[in-house]
Chain A
């Protein structure tokens, strides 16, 4: 294995699991997420010099993964099964613990969001990125991030009316 391949393999191993969860969260489809992630890493390898020189290689790779996932949404999104808020999520049973049910409902609502809104939510609340970082990751303006986030929160609030928007 050449030095660049060794470094690539190390990055791959270190970031695969987290990026798979991100890809899955945004795509909503395990198989599509795996395919998109493999494709994204192929592009990472093909552009290894550029990735390696980036100030934040992990952020660069994350952006490539999101490009791949969201690029595939144009066709993939229509194919995938989209959970509906009124459909009982798999494994959800009547529970005396309201918060558990709420979380399942919220998760279903997150998955029902449009892809870009879902990406903003996942990057904000799972990856814990700032607005500027989200804008960079998605290749859009901070204003677009704000508007997508507002729309997403408004949609989620229909499921959980007491969801409060915190300013980043």
Chain B
């Protein structure tokens, strides 16, 4: 038998396989869910950098991060985050932020991998956490050299209790997890993380000063107040969100009971892209009907479908942003209060660049 026979064998065996019909609409529906979770790079420079990473594997991106210049960021003028960031976009075309509208190219550094907070939007510039603040200016949250390494995207998460944000940075072979106070501009706590190249490091959740950090092996809870690490979940579990004593998880239940201030978290199973309201009482899962976590009635928002092609996200102030389809005429965006469910109309959005995106409120 020759290799030609091997080719013929494979052709004959595989050519005779009965191929099931694929379902592109199912793939699109699932893909939409994934899309809001992944990093969407709309800027040309960022896209080129990503292409370079894809081509070179984990090659370091040449970093200019020794000099955390903010010169490339034009001042936007004052931004009112008091009603939440209210950040949503027609990808590549226009971006709405704090009640104002900008051409997408002017804010191409903001994407769904950013984190909206009450003090502005935290995003990463070549591995360095930055803050677009209420004064419309961008400033670096970390000084000194940091590295932007392909595959290192731990993201940042905001605390709903404190004015804090948790992020990770890479410097040399050291990965540092930091809790930063956005109100005072100071670091609250930091620790190093032993995770090798840390390409699988992700901060899955952060609430009440406790960061839930996932590596390729497990998920750990880091209590920033005490510096204590606690095993939280095994590799077949995923911490989806944590708010006010409630933990959402996907997969197997967390391997050990997590307790904050002596109170075990209430474990609720939910899809990996679900979110909790800040009070921990409701699960937002692609519907304007938010599932109760405590046995009380579900919360039904005044706007948006209970099933169908809408888009939802928890805003930085704990309200729910809804992009409700308008019968083929794009979307109407609403900001809905919790727990009343009352909604304010923010305006229409007729995307030309794909599905609506909520910037900085990644589900």
Residues of A whose CB lies within 8 Å of any CB of B are 2, 4-5, 8-9, 12-13, 16-17, 20-21, 24-25, 30, 34, 37-39, 41-50, 53, 99, 102-103, 106-107, 110, 121-122, 125-126, 139, 156, 160, 162-166
Whether B1 sits at the interface, judged by CB under 8 Å, is yes
A100 to chain B, nearest CB (A): 10
CB neighbours (8 Å) of A49 from chain B are 40, 47, 354
Whether B3 contacts A38 by the Cβ 8 Å rule is no
How distant is the Cα of A122 from the Cα of B6 in the complex, in angstroms? 10
CB neighbours (8 Å) of A39 from chain B are 30
How distant is the Cα of A16 from the Cα of B19 in the complex, in angstroms? 9
Cβ contacts A to B, 12 pairs, < 8 Å: A13-B24, A16-B22, A25-B10, A41-B22, A45-B30, A48-B354, A107-B10, A125-B3, A126-B10, A163-B2, A163-B6, A166-B3
Q: Which residue of B lies closest to A60 (CB)?
A: B54
Question: Which residue from A20, A24, A107 sits with its C-beta under 8 Å from B9?
Answer: A107
Residue of A25, A126, A163 contacting most chain B CB atoms (<10 Å): A126
Whether B23 sits at the interface, judged by CB under 8 Å, is yes
How distant is the Cα of A47 from the Cα of B2 in the complex, in angstroms? 41
Whether A9 contacts B24 by the Cβ 8 Å rule is yes
How distant is the Cα of A7 from the Cα of B9 in the complex, in angstroms? 34
How distant is the Cα of A5 from the Cα of B2 in the complex, in angstroms? 44
A76 to chain B, nearest CB (A): 14
Whether A41 contacts B34 by the Cβ 8 Å rule is no
Known: A21-B17, A126-B7, A126-B11. A12 touches B34 (CB 8 A): no
CB neighbours (8 Å) of A9 from chain B are 24, 28
Further pairs besides A49-B47, A103-B12, A166-B3: 7, Cβ < 8 Å: A34-B20, A41-B27, A42-B33, A45-B32, A103-B9, A106-B5, A125-B6
A136 to chain B, nearest CB (A): 10
The A interface is mostly helix, strand or loop, or mixed, namely helix
Q: Which residue of A lies closest to B37 (CB)?
A: A46
Question: Which residue from B2, B12, B19 sits with its C-beta under 8 Å from A20?
Answer: B19
The B interface is mostly helix, strand or loop, or mixed, namely helix
The interface on chain B, measured as residues whose beta carbon lies within 8 A of the other chain's beta carbons, has a size of 40
Question: Which residue from A17, A46, A139, A156 sits with its C-beta under 8 Å from B31?
Answer: A46
Known: A38-B30, A107-B13. A163 touches B1 (CB 8 A): yes
B252 to chain A, nearest CB (A): 13
Whether B71 sits at the interface, judged by CB under 8 Å, is no
Whether B35 contacts A17 by the Cβ 8 Å rule is no
CB neighbours (8 Å) of B10 from chain A are 25, 107, 110, 121-122, 125-126
Whether B3 contacts A43 by the Cβ 8 Å rule is no
Whether B183 sits at the interface, judged by CB under 8 Å, is no
Whether B74 sits at the interface, judged by CB under 8 Å, is no
CB neighbours (8 Å) of A99 from chain B are 5
Whether B228 sits at the interface, judged by CB under 8 Å, is no
Question: Which residue from A24, A41, A42, A156 sits with its C-beta under 8 Å from B6?
Answer: A156
CB neighbours (8 Å) of A47 from chain B are 38
A94 to chain B, nearest CB (A): 19
How distant is the Cα of A50 from the Cα of B49 in the complex, in angstroms? 12
Q: Which residue of B lies closest to A102 (CB)?
A: B1
A23 to chain B, nearest CB (A): 10
Interface 0/1 of B42-78, CB less than 8 Å to A: 0000010011001001000000000000000000000
